[in-house]
């Protein structure tokens, strides 16, 4: 049986109907789980990774991000990540699904909240450099934790509101350091396009395929993508495709030939050329290096 990328669904055994959980990172690292969190795995939910003591690194989509006191890392649904083992680490994971956000915010606010986690739009790491700001943020996190643990008729509603406050505070920090999410009249269309590419990048890498699905011209689609991420449509498709190919190379035991067919290439030679164009190395060299 072929080894594939492990996909982790949201599961809250204590409160399965909430679509939210808060976990202390140090406790998670000590848990006896049914999967190894120190190996690459894909999550089907959103994570706010907050560290208030200790240091180390966390890997998101095969990129290592160093963290220390006052670091926040943002992980979106369908991203691949893994934990590193760190001593004296203290922090929180806020884990939730879109359903949890949808139950409280209007469509515009939901759209804005999801943008915070989109690393095509915004850098996934935030660092608090102001001690008062860090202290205030930590207090809100602890308040959310206490509220969530109370589990009365009002706790879920208050927890949602506090999560919205946390997300808004993170937007504020990003805007101050120049990593704010760019506003665009095309944002809804771009997110639709991104979702289609995430789903179909192995089915087609052609701009015309996606413009047809969206009911717009290739020129309009290029304008949408360029306005939001300052990139061409084809370059964005290739970027997502390469990320998925790297995931197959690193996290599965499929042969190179099998991966070439899975990723939409009828001829492995074309797959080699495509991969080398974007990485400068062969798939075998990349796999061995990781």
pTM for this one? 0.83
Structure-block tokens of residue 189: 């269309």
Spatial distance between the Cα atoms of 251 and 247, rounded to a whole number of angstroms: 6
Spatial distance between the Cα atoms of 117 and 127, rounded to a whole number of angstroms: 15
| Full pLDDT tens readout for the chain, 290 residues | 567 788 888 887 777 677 899 999 999 988 888 888 988 888 989 999 999 999 999 999 888 999 999 999 999 888 899 999 887 899 999 999 888 877 666 666 666 677 788 777 778 999 988 899 999 999 999 999 999 888 788 888 898 889 989 998 998 888 776 555 556 688 889 989 998 998 999 999 999 999 999 999 999 999 999 998 888 999 999 999 999 999 899 888 899 999 999 999 999 999 999 999 999 999 999 998 87
SS3 for 232?
coil
DSSP β-bridge partners for residue 3: none
- The closest of 199, 284, 286 to 237, measured between CA atoms, is 199
């Amino acid at each position: 049986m072929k080894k594939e990328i492990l996909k982790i669904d949201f599961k809250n055994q204590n409160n399965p109907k909430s679509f939210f959980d808060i976990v202390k990172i140090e406790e998670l690292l000590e848990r006896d789980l049914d999967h190894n969190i120190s190996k690459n795995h894909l999550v089907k939910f959103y994570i706010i990774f907050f560290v208030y003591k200790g240091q180390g690194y966390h890997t998101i989509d095969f990129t290592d991000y160093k963290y220390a006191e006052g670091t926040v890392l943002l992980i979106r649904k369908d991203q691949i990540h893994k934990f590193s083992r760190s001593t004296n680490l203290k922090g929180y994971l806020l884990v939730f699904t879109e359903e949890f956000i949808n139950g409280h915010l209007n469509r515009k606010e939901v759209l804005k909240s999801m943008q915070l986690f989109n690393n095509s739009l915004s850098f996934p790491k935030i660092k608090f450099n102001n001690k008062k700001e860090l202290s205030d943020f930590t207090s809100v996190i602890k308040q959310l934790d206490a509220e969530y643990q109370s589990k009365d008729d009002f706790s879920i509603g208050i927890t949602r509101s506090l999560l919205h406050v946390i997300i808004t505070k993170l937007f504020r920090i990003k805007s101050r350091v120049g990593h704010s999410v760019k506003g665009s009249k095309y944002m809804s269309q771009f997110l639709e396009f991104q979702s289609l590419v995430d789903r179909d990048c192995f089915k087609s890498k052609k701009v015309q395929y996606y413009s047809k699905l969206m009911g717009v011209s290739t020129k309009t689609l290029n304008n949408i993508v360029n306005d939001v991420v300052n990139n061409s449509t084809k370059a964005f498709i290739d970027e997502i495709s390469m990320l998925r190919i790297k995931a197959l190379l690193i996290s599965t035991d499929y042969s190179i030939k099998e991966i070439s067919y899975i990723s939409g290439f009828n001829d492995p030679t074309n797959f080699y050329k495509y991969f080398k164009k974007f990485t400068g190395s062969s798939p075998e060299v990349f796999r061995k290096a990781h």
